[in-house]
Chains A and B, each alone.
Chain A
Amino acid sequence: MKIIYIIFMSLCVGILSSVLLVKQNTSIIFGDASDLYTVNISVDKSQSPEKIESILQEIKNIDKSQIKKVTLISSQELIADVEKVLPNYSSGLFEKEELEQILNPAVEVQLSAEANSASIIEKMKMITGINQVVFSGDWVEKFKSIFTAANHILDTIFILFFIILSFLITVLIRNLLISTKESISLQALMGATPQQSFFKPFSQIMIATFISYIIGMAMTFLIGAVIRQKISENTDLGFIHDRMSFLNQTSLSLIAVGLIFNLVISYGLSFMYIRKEFYKND
């Protein structure tokens, strides 16, 4: 019976920690702060290297205090990125020169968090030779409501499984109390204190909970490792691979504290029950 509870508790801990893992790593979908304040500029492909240099300088001059970094990504670099994701059999299908004709050089501009992005972007659009200006923040804004909803769903799942886990612990303690009732009552009659008579079943519950915590965390770690492995196979998602992290101290502690809290409550209730049942003298 205890094994079945350990399995269910491990699953609950696994789900709870997976939810926390996803929540913790949600920022990698949004990108971090630097992504939020990044402007991607596409430069006309007809521009000479000297003109591109001058465009870069013009961008920098818009507002030196609010523009942190300006990086040119040449057509060659873009082609190299494209080639990485193309399968081997595609080699020879495209001539590099042809690709160079298609791909425009790009400029990545990092703004400071306090920057007046709208005004800077307007000024960038006015620079001759610039083809397109895309602000990452706009993209994030568009999807923010979706991510907010997703976060709410994750929170709901977390609360739901936390309640299930609490219920499981309560049921486990109740059943263990019932199955050890005879032993508890016998020990009580022999002069055991309520703590003494409940020590053995409660330590079994604590061990079962601890094992479930370890198994649940191991499951999440495994899932995280598999996801990371899959991501590493896709170079386009390289940035996720680099930024993805396993559960941090807070998440690990949150579940551990939750379990301890449940155990403390259950211990209190069981203690009251034992006193009422086997030490009644009122």
Chain B
Amino acid sequence: MISLKHVYKTYDSDRHALRDISFSLNSQELIFLTGPSGAGKTTLFKLLSLQEKTSSGELSCHNKSMSDFNLKQMVEYRRKLGIVFQDFRLMTELNIFDNIAVPLKIQKYSKKEISFAVESVLERFGLAEHAKSFPDYISGGEKQRVAIARAVVHKPDLLIADEPTGNLDRKNALSVLSIFQDLSAQGVAVMIATHDEEFLKSTSSRTSIRQIHLDAGQVLKDQSL
């Protein structure tokens, strides 16, 4: 589905954020991207979400080079993508229901479909009672769950999550992990960036799980768990 071949990302001509990255990500695969801060995880996510362009190498989706994407293809690709941001990036002027509904509204779902889809994820993530609350009035853990709910509500083909359990306690973190595994089992390609390697040990063997360890912009380890 997604393939990276000898991808480099360089800033200011001499600062290498990513060096010679090559791997592929397929449906039903769950990849943990591990590594210390500054390893290049966020940069890799920016490339995958088309916020940045590779300096060299090829990043492709279904064998089509993503650097050749025109506006329409870019929009279509992003509509099949779910992103969980490290800092949540919730819209403070919208309530939780409307925040989760944003990807569906963008894709012009009907009101009925939006209502059904949002209510089911609210239920699934234990957020039903906060539907009318605003992001500033819920806890960090709840914001995290809203961010994840928003990323999965439109059933993406690819889900990328940057430190999605960073603000959650162990119990909630495991619950979120279980959701990611469910999504993966349903055919979604999931990539989770985390610096918490202990977290990996909590995974069950329901799906194919891989760990890609990055350090200083390079892949040091790419293994199945």
Contact = CB atoms under 8 A, between A and B. Distances in A.
Contacts of B78: 188-191
Given A193-B75, A281-B69, A186 B89 contact: yes
A275 interface: yes
Given A186-B89, A191-B78, A275-B71, A281 B50 contact: yes
A193 B81 CA distance: 15
A190 B69 contact: no
| 6 interchain residue pairs of minimum CB distance | A191-B79, A191-B78, A192-B106, A190-B103, A190-B106, A191-B75
B53 interface: yes
Contacts of A196: 106
Interface string A177-208: 00000110011111111101000000000000
A197 B77 CA distance: 16
A188 B77 CA distance: 11
A142 interface: no
A279 interface: yes
A191 B81 contact: yes
A182 B71 contact: no
Interface string B71-98: 1001111111101000001010000000
A112 B74 CA distance: 72
A9 to B, nearest CB: 23
8 contacts: A183-B91, A187-B102, A190-B83, A191-B75, A191-B76, A275-B71, A279-B74, A281-B50
A279 B69 CA distance: 10
Most buried by B among A190, A191, A196: A190
Given A279-B71, A279-B74, A281-B67, A189 B91 contact: no
Given A191-B75, A281-B67, A186 B91 contact: yes
Interface residues on A, range: 10 to 19
Interface string A92-129: 00000000000000000000000000000000000000
B86 to A, nearest CB: 14
B42 interface: no
Given A183-B91, A279-B74, A189 B51 contact: yes
Contacts of B53: 280-282
A38 to B, nearest CB: 66
A65 B83 CA distance: 88
Interface string A253-281: 00000000000000000000001000111
B49 interface: yes
A275 B72 CA distance: 12
Nearest to A196: B106
Given A281-B69, A281-B74, 4 more contacts: A189-B81, A189-B83, A190-B103, A196-B106
B205 interface: no
Contacts of A279: 71, 74
Contacts of B70: 281
B107 interface: yes
B102 A190 contact: yes
Contacts of A193: 71, 75
A196 B78 CA distance: 14
Contacts of A281: 50, 53, 66-67, 69-70, 74
Nearest to B107: A191
A281 B46 CA distance: 12
B80 to A, nearest CB: 8
Nearest to A182: B89
Contacts of B79: 190-191
A190 B89 CA distance: 12
Contacts of B103: 190-191
Nearest to B93: A183
Nearest to A282: B53
Interface string B45-56: 000011101000
Nearest to B89: A186
Contacts of B80: 191
Contacts of A191: 75-81, 103, 106-107
Nearest to A200: B93
Interface string B13-42: 000000000000000000000000000000
A192 B78 CA distance: 8
Contacts of A275: 71
A193 to B, nearest CB: 6
B57 to A, nearest CB: 15
A187 B49 CA distance: 12
A196 B81 CA distance: 17
A79 to B, nearest CB: 73
